[in-house]
């Protein structure tokens, strides 16, 4: 199994802020305290008092046993109790393990923890489940390749509208979704794991946690769902600061947005005047409602108004009802865990440029952040297609992102018989030469006539290009294997005009490569590549 490393910029729709962070070897001040290449975090002390460590690890151990964690994870919790630092990553609790980048995050955290431990200071990998997110539409489905197309399987959910996704239960119809998954993935150990974890009545959070614990059992990944009262109590000080220092923190974020704009970037998360850093779980409906600030000291959740004092009472009595937003979540997380470094994706790392001001004001420090492994997994059948047509992954991405038809038309044109290519090229060159000469001659006679020649020439050249496309499409229709090749490339490498890692469910590759896949990804996460990898399976 080999790999190729490409610049991260081959991926579409990445923010300039993230691109600059990945490409610079020095710190991108003032937005990030360290560069993506820094290893200083490996030897920096991680502060967490012994009593808090003890309480944290007791809760982690209890939760991990509920998830069926293997001995390596429990051993890592023991290391955490004894003073180890945590390499943390996290993701939404998406159906059947979510997209491939979820595995890439976990694999990177595992690898970085190993590297830090080898330097003499023990670290352990921790995966933070974002169970408090309430956007069900982002979490209830998985996309899998099936018979030359992408099939999206969507799980039924039972629970209050707008409630945290992690608390929603898998509803009626789950058996049918599992049946469809079985048809696509085929029998095997991974399918059995899906059936064991995703069972009727289980919550989205619990099912995801159990599956991720199984996938990375041998690597000792610690999985945490911090949505309960006990974990929230450990992060109570951060939630309190978001309440009592709301004006100060909002002003700091506004200043940071101005700094980002002045540096040529932009704020990734908008913070309108009445916005806050918190959500409130409604006591009656269970919905997760954004807290707004219509005036100083007043808070609005849905149609109900609260005073700061009333919310502080909620925080004291039921801290799990207050939930951090995307900017505050890293600070809240690092008040609970002894985080040495966070492993994030492009959006998360861009968010950190804003979260940094919250870190400094609430925690008095900033956690460094590192990019996760970014990769495209190329299976043997797809690799043969790329070799047959002599095309590369960057070319596929660039071509498919511009126009999905361009890939097919280009391969069709390449497959034309040699005589067809020769005649089309000769006709095209001759037409261009004659039209250029005619336009030049007309220009010497009359400017108006020259403009007419240019217009006519443009139309004739357009028709010549149209003839080339018609020939390419004709070749596609004649060669069934060629059409099948185009379809395979589109589905497996750049599905839905997006990088594979963002769309394809990890279940597809886990069902085919089993226990070997996590180890493979951990290994590749350690091999230096500051950009995007093509991993040939």
Q: Characterize 390-416 residue by residue with b for buried, 16 or more Cβ atoms within 10 angstroms of its Cβ, and e for exposed.
A: ebebbebbebbbeeeeebbbbbbbebb
Enumerate residues 6+ apart whose C-beta is below 8 A from 405. Answer: none
First-to-final CA distance of the chain = 5
Tokens of residue 347, six digits: 């959006």
Summarised one tens digit per residue, pLDDT across range 120-170 is: 899 999 999 999 998 999 999 999 999 889 999 999 888 888 899 999 999
CA of residue 241 relative to chain centroid, distance: 29
Residue 1: pLDDT band (50, 70, 90) is: low
Look up tokens 């090229």; give the residue. 425
The 3-state secondary structure of 206-252, one letter per residue: HHHHHHHHHHCCCCCCEEECCCCHHHHHHCHHHHHHHHHCHHHHHHH
Which pairing describes strands 304-307 and 298-301: parallel, antiparallel, or unpaired?
Answer: antiparallel
Integer-rounded Cα Rg, in Å, for the chain is 27
The string of pLDDT tens digits covering residues 172-187 is 899 999 999 999 999 9
Identify the band that residue 476 occupies on the pLDDT scale cut at 50, 70 and 90: low
Domain 42-235+330-376 CATH class label: alpha beta
Q: What's the pLDDT score for residue 236?
A: 96
Rounded to two decimals, the pTM is 0.90
Give the residue extent of every domain in the chain: 42-235+330-376, 236-324, 378-508
Residues 6+ apart with CB under 8 A from 352: 31, 32, 330, 342, 344, 369
Q: Which two tokens stand for residue 153?
A: 């399987």
Cα angle 24, 27, 30; round to 5: 125
The stretch 105-116 carries a mean pLDDT of 97
pLDDT at 469: 73
CA distance 181 to 336: 37
Top pLDDT among 47 and 96 is at 96
């Amino acid at each position: 199994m080999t790999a190729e490393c490409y610049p991260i910029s081959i991926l579409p729709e990445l923010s300039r802020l993230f691109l600059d962070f990945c490409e610079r070897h020095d710190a991108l001040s003032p937005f990030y305290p360290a560069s993506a290449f820094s290893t200083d975090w490996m030897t920096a002390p991680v502060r967490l008092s012994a009593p808090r460590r003890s309480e944290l690890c007791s809760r982690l151990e209890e939760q991990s046993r509920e998830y069926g964690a293997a001995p390596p994870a429990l051993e890592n919790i023991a290391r955490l109790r004894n003073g180890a630092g945590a390499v943390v990553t996290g993701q939404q609790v998406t159906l059947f393990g979510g997209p491939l980048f979820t595995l890439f995050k976990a694999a990177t955290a595992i690898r970085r923890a190993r590297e830090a431990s080898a330097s003499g200071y023990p670290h352990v990998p921790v995966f933070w489940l974002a169970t408090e997110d309430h956007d069900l539409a982002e979490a209830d489905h998985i996309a899998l390749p099936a018979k030359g197309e992408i099939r999206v399987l969507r799980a039924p959910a039972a629970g209050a509208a707008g409630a945290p996704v992690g608390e929603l239960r898998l509803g009626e119809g789950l058996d049918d979704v599992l049946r469809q998954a079985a048809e696509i993935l085929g029998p095997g150990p991974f399918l059995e794991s899906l059936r064991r974890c995703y069972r009727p009545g289980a919550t989205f959070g619990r099912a995801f946690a159990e599956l991720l614990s199984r996938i990375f059992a041998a690597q000792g990944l610690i999985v945490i769902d911090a949505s309960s009262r006990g974990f929230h109590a450990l992060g109570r000080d951060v939630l309190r600061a978001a309440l009592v220092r709301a004006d100060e923190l909002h002003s700091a974020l506004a200043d940071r947005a101005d700094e980002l704009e002045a540096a040529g970037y932009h704020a990734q998360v908008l913070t309108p005047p009445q916005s806050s850093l918190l959500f409130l779980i409604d006591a009656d409906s269970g919905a997760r409602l954004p807290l707004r600030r219509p005036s100083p000291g007043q808070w609005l959740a849905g149609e109900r108004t609260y005073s700061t004092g009333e919310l502080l009472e909620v925080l004291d009595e039921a801290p799990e009802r207050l939930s951090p937003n995307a900017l505050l979540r890293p600070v809240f997380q690092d008040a609970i865990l002894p985080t040495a470094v966070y492993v994030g994706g492009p959006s998360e790392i861009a968010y950190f440029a804003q979260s940094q001001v919250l870190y400094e004001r609430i925690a008095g420090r900033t956690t460094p952040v590192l990019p996760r492994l970014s990769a495209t997994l190329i299976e043997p059948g797809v690799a043969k297609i790329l070799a047959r047509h002599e095309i590369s992954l960057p070319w596929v991405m660039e071509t498919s992102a511009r126009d999905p038809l361009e890939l097919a038309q280009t391969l069709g044109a390449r497959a034309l018989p040699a005589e067809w290519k020769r005649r089309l090229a000769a006709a095209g060159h001759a037409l261009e030469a004659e039209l250029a000469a005619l336009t030049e001659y007309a220009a010497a006679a009359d400017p108006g006539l020259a403009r007419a020649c240019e217009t006519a020439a443009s139309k004739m050249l357009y028709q010549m290009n149209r003839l080339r496309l018609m020939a390419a499409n004709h070749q596609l229709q004649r060669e069934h294997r060629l059409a099948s090749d185009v379809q395979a490339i589109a589905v497996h490498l750049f599905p839905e005009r997006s990088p594979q890692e963002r769309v394809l469910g990890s279940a597809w590759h886990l069902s085919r490569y089993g226990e070997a896949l996590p180890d493979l990804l951990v290994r590749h996460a350690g091999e230096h590549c500051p950009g995007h990898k093509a991993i040939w399976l």
